Structures are given as C-alpha cells and as structure tokens.
Structure 1
C-alpha cells in the first residue's frame, strides 16, 4: 500500500503536496475550516488584503495564525519590479518569513505574468535572501531563465488565474517536467476540478496551489477534502507507474491456454 511521501520545499519537510490560498472565502470561519480540511501545510496570503501591523482584519489574521502553517505571502497586484520589491520587503517584516510567492502581472486581461520583469524581480529578491516561488507561464525558456537566476522552485500555470479550465497545454507542462527534472514544480492557477489536480500530479509535478476552485465552490470544506484526495491519488499513480497508451486493443483476460478455451470444430452440431 502506498503512503504519502514527505518532500522538501526549501527548509520545510512537508507531507501534503497541496498548497492553499486564503482569499475569496465567504467568511473567515469557512476559510479556516477549508484550510484545515485540505491538510495543506503552506498557505498563501496577500499584504494588500491583510496588514496585521495596522490591525486590519484581525479576525482573519488571528485565524491564519492559529493554523500554525508555513506562510507564503504573495505580491499580487504588482505591475512593476519596484512594486514587487517594496511589497516583498514589507511582507518579510510583517509576516516574519522570507518565503515569497512572486507575482508580477504583465496583462490585466488574463493576469499573465510579465516574463522580462519576472526574471529581473526574481534575481533581486534572491540576492536579498528571499525564497522565491515565482508564478509563471508554462514557457520553457522563461522557466529556464528563472532557474538560471537562482529560483529553486517554479510555479507555472495550467491556465490563467481563476478560469478553472484545467491544463490548456499538456505538452508544455510535460516538457517542463522532463527538461527540469531536478526543480520542484508546483502548478499554480487554472485548476478548477479535483480531476485537474490529479492529472497534474500524474504527470510528475511536485504539488498544486489552489484558491478559487476551493473558496468559490458551494461547499469549500468538502471541496478542500476532494482536492486533497485527488492530489494524493495523482501522486500515487505517478509513483506506481501509469500504464502506457497503446494504439491497438489488448485483452486484459487472455483466452488461449485457459481451461475453458476450446476451438470450435467445423463439424460441430448447429
């Protein structure tokens, strides 16, 4: 029987491969219960939404602290490298962590990251000691450039944020996995169903980061459990070795040589 294997993400030894967001829930209590139900050990949060130093949203902040999880502040809403650096430094001081989900938006229509600014921002942040998890597209060259400047983890999208479309380009994601075998890859954005998460994990990805698909479902707590189960199932399928596809049919129950097989005679009575 397969068990969930621990994995290393920077300085943390994690058992869950599901990372979860803290935005868009109908209430702080639902957020708390859904995160608990997910089994996630890393939770994202935004300084633009929550500023504990100013006492904004104390109920939200207290619930996050009670979860006792690894915080992953993000730079959501930033459109320039300067904005990213400013927000990142504030987040490190306020949330007391050097982990950072790097977001630098280049297009407001589909929230696609700015590839040039993303690499520049990642280089500056790594020089300042941040543990950077960049939200990026599935472009191989961009991902290679991010690794070149020191990113130890990448978070490519499956589809634009909040669309729930699932994997739009399986070839691109599979190529990333094959060309960057030693880099932890976490799919962030575009997953709408538990089956999408399972599919990603079956491809050999190290984890998934989810928010909208859980928070905006009719029952976030149940959906969080569903995504947790799907993530585990996909990982176990990958580890066990998935059956290769074939062009021709192949019987699962051989007939030749079995005790009940006989060749019908031409002279058998009709």
Structure 2
C-alpha cells in the first residue's frame, strides 16, 4: 500500500518520527532509529553536534542510510533565537527541513510559547524553510500556524518526556478538522499503545523520543513503536465500528430455524 506522509516537499514512507536525545551514545541512537523504520530523526542542534566535523558528529552515523535529520530549536525561548539558529544550521549543513519549537516554560512543563513560535514561523516561511511546528493542542493556534506557512503542526499529547499519553483526544480531532497540513502528535508518548491511539483517532504521524530512548530495551521499544504506528494507521483507514450501549450478537439470528416449536 502506498500511504506516504508528505510534509511540504518531503515525502516519507514511515509515519513515525523519532528523536535523538537521551540515548547513551550515537551508536544506540542509530540502531534504535533503524529498528523503528523511521525515515526522520529530530536533533536538538544546540545540544547534539551535526555541524562541527572535528567532533563526533551524529550525521556520520546516518550517512549510509535513507534517514533524514530534522534539526529542532529545543532550548530556544524567543523567536529571534530560533530564527538565528536555523539560518546557521542551513548555512552549515544545507538542511532546510526543520522542527520549530520555542519554549515558554523552561522550568516545569516545557510548554511552547505560541506567540513567539508564530512570529518565528512567519519569518522562517519567508526564508523558504520547510517547517514542522511544535505547539499546544489548540486548533485555533494550529490554524494560525498553517496560515503563517507551517507545513505540519505538531500538537503535544502531554508535557515533553512525561509519558502520559494523549490527554485530550478531542483536541487532536479538532486540529485535524481545522487544518489541511499534516497533524503529527508530538510529546508525551509513553508506550506503543499511545502511538497506536494517536494514529487511530486520525493523526497523520507520531513523534516520540523518550519512550524509546529511556525504555528498558530501546531497540525493542523502537520496533514496537513501528508496528503500533502501522497498526493504528491501518485501523483508522479501515474504519472502526460504531459504539453501542448494548450487546449485538456476533452471529445474526434472523432467518434461523427455531427448534422445539410445532
């Protein structure tokens, strides 16, 4: 089945995006990413080296794969910081597919500053970047980001790294109705069933990092996430049955011969 995820000018065969943080080393990052089947790995470029060839560089671990790097602006707290960072990254690497995030609360929730995010999105879109934008689960802001030039919106399921799963499924549905660009559930995924649920309710993709990197067995969890995203997508496309308040017999009784009656 040809069911690709298209973000701007980028086409992906997998609807699972993974992160690169919290792994013990780059080799484990590579092994888990390959096992996940993902074609896109996001990198906090303020914390992980992809620009300095004189130091251990994550890019080197993926040179012989079809996996693309998705630089993100984790750690930026203003629009100007994010804009400057991405311009530097593009100059150093040529990469213009980016994940925009501007954090408002750095102490507790890591929730985004949506106003600064929106300002950065407008500028980066004019600069020609292909933008995937981390935001809160607000359909109004999702629409504004789309109008500002974002090529995908990435509403949080729950606070980053919390593992709480999707806290408001209806907001994901409202966002899907509000925008035409892909909706990729980001942050808060804790296990494979969380990823499957996100896909079953209609998300176009899932991004997860901590759930894989800090699992007891990251490689096995990466494999589980791959299957969960595929299964959730297939379930969504198949169409679930309607929920009913009472039982319905699995085998129909209409037209059956009744015994014991003359």
What is the TM-score with the length of structure 1 in the denominator? 0.91
Contact 1:198–1:231 (Cα < 8 Å) also in 2:
yes
SS in 2 for 1:155: strand
1:136 aligned to 2:135? yes
Residue in structure 1 matched with residue 124 of structure 2 by the alignment: 125
CA drift of 1:244 comes to 1.4
Q: 1:10-43 CA deviation, whole Å, 9 max, x = no partner?
A: 2222211001111111222211110110111111
Structure 1: gaps (5+ residues): 266-270
SS in 1 for 2:160: coil
Equivalents in 2 of 1:56, 1:45: separation in Å?
18
Moved more, 99-108 or 87-96: 87-96
Q: CA RMSD in A?
A: 1.7
SS in 1 for 2:157: coil
Q: How many residues align?
A: 261
Question: Which structure has the bigger radius of gyration?
Answer: 1
SS in 2 for 1:112: coil
What stretches of structure 1 move > 6 A for 4+ residues in a row? none
Structure 2: gaps (5+ residues): none
Equivalents in 1 of 2:178, 2:259: separation in Å?
51
Equivalents in 2 of 1:155, 1:262: separation in Å?
60
Q: 1:164-187 CA deviation, whole Å, 9 max, x = no partner?
A: 11110111111111232x221111
Equivalents in 2 of 1:138, 1:176: separation in Å?
8
Aligned runs of 1:185-204 on 2, under 5 Å?
Answer: 185-204=183-202
- 110 and 226 in structure 1: CA distance in 2 versus 1, 3 angstrom threshold: same
- 68 and 58 in structure 1: CA distance in 2 versus 1, 3 angstrom threshold: farther
- Residue in structure 2 matching 1:106, options 101, 104, 107: 104
What is the TM-score with the length of structure 2 in the denominator? 0.94
1:73 aligned to 2:55? no
